[in-house]
Structure 1
């Protein structure tokens, strides 16, 4: 009896081993290696790689294609924040602006008067705060100090989001206004001379990518007196 049990267990173990190795075919469509490997599609194209190689990201053209990076590995240059082209007399400015119409730049394009060389007045002001929200916050602080005669400058000039506290013909009058504001607790106000306006104009462009820069330079080339430079 013991011999029968021994040989029965041995036969069962042998059958399980043969099944595990795939020597008995498959049951219910579920196979184990190596039989499954033999039935793989395009098995002859499989390549065994080391664990070290498998842990590294692909390089070369395949990596570039997957990441959306140019094949040569060079990323496209970042757009320029601000480019200014000037100076134009009024007639040339109109011709230049007409040439720009086909680029459909919308609010990425603006025109400004260039400052003159003579002082026309003096402005008492709080320097530009950087944003409308910051300017509104500063204006609220002024109201808290009892200052009500102020103006938030929102036009597209270097003084954008500054707060004007008065414009005066003479520097003496401007300094007197500043002294009165200091007594009220205003600590950040300044006096700055304002230059007279000239008859020259310039154009500013925002978010200038390589394509737009090339188009602008092509147009500018027809205006020999105009120059291109960066701006804020």
Structure 2
């Protein structure tokens, strides 16, 4: 498996160079699919999805760029979408709600297909989070019953954040976890102190990444690519 797990996409030349290395060819010769599914549970999700399709990562000059919406896949024949996924050089998995994304990764059938693909998995925020066997995330409200697999004992209210800290089951594509937006002024729940608290609840090594950093994975070999700040817990 080849993956580039990012906090906020391809933000600098080092991350772009890592992506090209994983692709094994120029971006202009590569076909990509973007997956915006995770953003829809947020207020204004439709507008956010539009922005997901028009961001620096999708405007790198791909040979072709398609949209893969996971929530529609169970309602159509697999012959209509599986060959397209198998032909892709990169899957750009956008951010949003990781519980929602993990649910639709499984329900769509893509989770089962991922280990068989040659495509580079490029995770952005929630897209990076769900690659882990186990992840944590904060929510304003208790998790929805539909967003399995979360048990009642797997979320607690955190007074310091005034939010719920939720433990979820990821896809197990990696043997480590990612906490994105490390020390970002607009993501206070990913401060160094909070990231340490999150990591203590994850039974795997955990990389906290700022928006200039990523974890590169090639057949289990892990390398951090960064022009910013990161920490391994």
TM-score by length of 2: 0.25
TM-score by length of 1: 0.25
Give the number of the structure whose alpha-carbon radius of gyration is greater.
1
Higher relative contact order (CA 8 A, sep 6+): 1
Greater helix fraction, Structure 1 or Structure 2: 1
